Structure 1
Amino acid sequence: MEETFDFDEIIDRRGTSCEKWDKYRGRDIIPLWVADMDFRSPPAVIEALKERVSHGIFGYTHAPDTLYEAVLTALKEEYGWEVKHEWITWLPGLVTGLNVACRAVGEPGDDVITFTPVYPPFLSAPPLSGRQTVKVPLACRDGRWGLDLEALEAALTPRTKLLLLCSPHNPVGRLWNREELASLAAFAEHHDLVICSDEIHAGLVLEESQRHLPIATLAPAIDRRTITLLAPSKTFNVPGLGCSFAVISDDALRRAFRKAMGRVVPHVNLLGFTAAEAAYRHGEPWRRGLIRYLRGNRDLVARELEGMGLTVAHVEATYLSWIDVRHLGIEDPVAFFEEAGVGLSCGSDFGLPGYLRLNFGCPRPLLAEALGRMKAALNSLSV
């Protein structure tokens, strides 16, 4: 019999220096903005952390061999991906990986191309690395977001060296399929681009009939030109412990990546390593329960928001809904819903004004309350 977990439990995060909740300290606003979940991490992770803390010494720590084994086993079992120990480079966060990739590929002044809307660090990492961000809008046809390879081709310049890919995609919730990824891989190969693929939401596929496909697994030629960024942080709700990693099979590309890290990028902390190993070794029953729960939350959000006359992209992966509010004619939709008691992310931060992102990774009673507040606010517009 499979373990059960209480995802309905509302845990008070106020007073814990929580970024998500402290943004609205002293205000009656339910925060559904930044991408962390309001669930306790898997019991196995909590127990492993307690055991490590009880040792009482917190010195400099490297990734243990048992963690490598756990990661390699998880990648093989989940994706059939045969990754070697030496391909892995540990990072204190996925955003660090994006910035390092921009420094590792090409030269200052080169172009880095990416699809928008997208997670904000995709837009900031190139200029912070002395590169130019080239934005290619995703195509939205009949409410479904997709890659626009014609627009990608048109945006290409002789100085384009790196493609930043978000897979699964934050914020539109797409799980790119084999055909889409193969087309993108062929494009990168034809134009000799390195792909940096952020796959941090790979463990959060909500569609029962679909599976995440790492773009590096399509073919050896694609593997050699790909930097894949992964982490347990989103799936197992441990983002505050700062443990991510890059998988880079090509020796030269991996050397360039590590050289770009220099002595600037700090080491992963020992509790991050501890949590990651426990998550990959023992977190699967919790993850399966989480996916079922998130699927219910996703469907509740879609049903309620569509009932309010809002268009919501179907979420295939992640715990993030992307909502079109352009037709409301509200100058500042974030402020409008904050006034109603709900904190959402602004589409402008992702490169597309007129949209909002809603994080439904929270207990359902809290989510239902937030949706009720949104409905009341929209009803007030028509009074």
Structure 2
Amino acid sequence: MSAMANDPLFDLHIDRTQSNSIKWNKYKGQDILPMWVADSDFRAPDAIINALHQHVDHGIFGYGSAPESLTAALIERMKHLYQWEIQPEWIVYLPGLVCGINLAVRALTTPEQAVVCPTPIYPPFKSSAKLAQRELATLPVTLDKQRWLMQLTPSHVTPASRLLLFCNPLNPGGTVYRKEELEQVLAFAEQHDLLVCSDEIHCDLLLEPGCRHTPFASLNDSAAQRSVTLIAPSKTFNIAGLGASMAIIPNPALRKAFLRTRAGIVPDVNVLAYTAAEAAYTQGEPWLEQQLAFLRGHKAKLEAAINALPYLKLHPIEATYLAWIDATALPVPSPHKFFEQAGVGLSPGADFGHPGFVRLNFACRTETLDEALRRITNAINALG
């Protein structure tokens, strides 16, 4: 299935400026295209919208708990997609994935222990350690045959290191870790006696042919017993504002610590989020396949356009709808401000740990992407 030039579903114009959108409100009233936060401009699948309508029409929004049917759908999804057989009691529902990262840091380390994470990386990885007042060590993410990979550097780990924050697919960079690469991460964790919190929220958004997601915890029992896996339908189906995420924790001791840290602080998932998540996982697959075809078309266009310009480099994006653009050769003090002045609002690389880069969200209408590329091209050409 190839992406259409004008896809009637994903090229639908929806005005988000009046919808309390963080993404679009950032530049409200300015001629700057918002292409920063990981929030697509696509209308959610009809299956999710219809399920929410039915729930709203019922008219009562009291306390709820995770439906058994949602748990069953998640178990079946893990088995079908990854041959990973999980148990119902392993699942902890959360009102967001970022709180899962923060809970893992606070539950699985003591104040005397340290956290290890890749860099550049999604900003909440580093802030979770800072907020918990944990020491943080970083493992460099570097290019390896056109792919961004975390370097397993023993010198960056100390006897105090206890938790590795891992991200697969990688944000930023879009790398999908192969099974043998995950086995190397596991060996590193075993060697240094590290627990692993694996953020796998972008696992459904695979764009490169032949790429296959493997959950870290599915490798073997050693991986399972030292891991917390964080997933969600939010990025996949554009329902992040509803807040439905899952932590999968096979080890009962780790799960008990996680739940104890959560108690009384992190609220339960709201009933509408449960409804949306179940509809996504049981009826959303045809919509997802169409979205992936559309995103693959945007990825190809973006890679070709950026790599045809001087000063910029974009390596192949294996997954996510987020382009990690190398702008280190740009003769400007701040690539982020340079593109913002050109009318394109990107995520600054400094937020991730590399100020010479910018991150572009291409989950938008084709017209928006084309205009962004036009503005970027004009700005680069004006440099001479």
Aligned residue in 1 for 2:131 = 128
Question: Is the Cα–Cα contact under 8 Å of residues 139 and 150 in structure 2 kept in the other structure?
Answer: no
**Is residue 217 of structure 2 the alignment partner of residue 216 of structure 1?**
yes
- Letter aligned with residue 331 of structure 2: G
Distance in 2, Cα, partners of 1:142 & 1:243: 36
For residues 16-165 of structure 1, the aligned pairs below 5 Å read 16-141=19-144, 143-149=146-152, 151=153, 153-165=154-166
Alignment correspondent of 2:376 = 374
Question: Structure 1 residue 5: deviation in Å?
Answer: 6.0
Do residues 291 (structure 1) and 300 (structure 2) align? no
Structure 2 residue matching 1:140: 3-state secondary structure: strand
CA contact (8 A) 1:5 1:286 kept: no
State the identity %. 48
Deviations 1:214-271 (A, max 9, x none): 0101111111111000000000110000010100011101001111112100111111
Aligned to 2:196: 195
- Are the counterparts in 1 of residues 228 and 248 from structure 2 also a CA contact under 8 Å? yes
* Rounded Cα–Cα distance in structure 2 between residues aligned with 1:209 and 1:282: 24
CA deviations over 1:201-221 (Å, ceiling 9, x no partner): 000011221210001011111
SS of the residue aligned with 2:175?
coil
Q: TM-score, normalised by structure 1?
A: 0.97
Q: Is the 8 A contact 2:75 2:85 kept in 1?
A: yes
Q: What is the Cα deviation at residue 190 of structure 1?
A: 1.9
Runs of 4+ aligned residues of structure 1 deviating over 2 Å after TM superposition are 141-144
Partner Cα distance (1:272, 1:328) in 2 = 43
Q: When the two structures are aligned, how many residues end up with a matched partner?
A: 379
Correspondence for 2:331:
329
> 1:364 is aligned with what amino acid?
T
Q: Which whole-Å deviations, capped at 9, do the CAs of 1:168-218 have from their partners, x for residues lacking one?
A: 000111001111100000111122110000000000011221210001011
Which residue of the partner structure matches residue 358 of structure 2?
356
**When the two structures are superposed, what TM-score results if normalisation uses the length of structure 2?**
0.97
* Cα distance, 1:142 vs structure 2: 5.0
Instruction: Tell me the equivalent position of 1:339.
Output: 341
Please list the CA deviations of residues 87-112 of structure 1 after superposition, one character each: whole Å capped at 9, or x if unmatched.
00011100000000001112113110
Q: Structure 2 regions of 5+ residues with no counterpart? A: 2-6
Aligned partners of 1:322 and 1:159: how far apart in 2? 32
For residue 135 of structure 1, report the CA deviation from its aligned partner: 1.2
Q: 1:303: how far off?
A: 0.6
> Unmatched 5+ residue regions in structure 1?
none
Query: Residue 147 of structure 1: CA displacement?
Result: 2.4
| Aligned ranges 1:188-337 → 2 under 5 Å | 188-309=189-310, 310-337=312-339
Q: Is the Cα–Cα contact under 8 Å of residues 100 and 257 in structure 1 kept in the other structure?
A: yes
What RMSD, in angstroms, separates the aligned Cα atoms of the two structures? Answer: 1.4
State the distance in 1 between where 2:213 and 2:113 align: 31
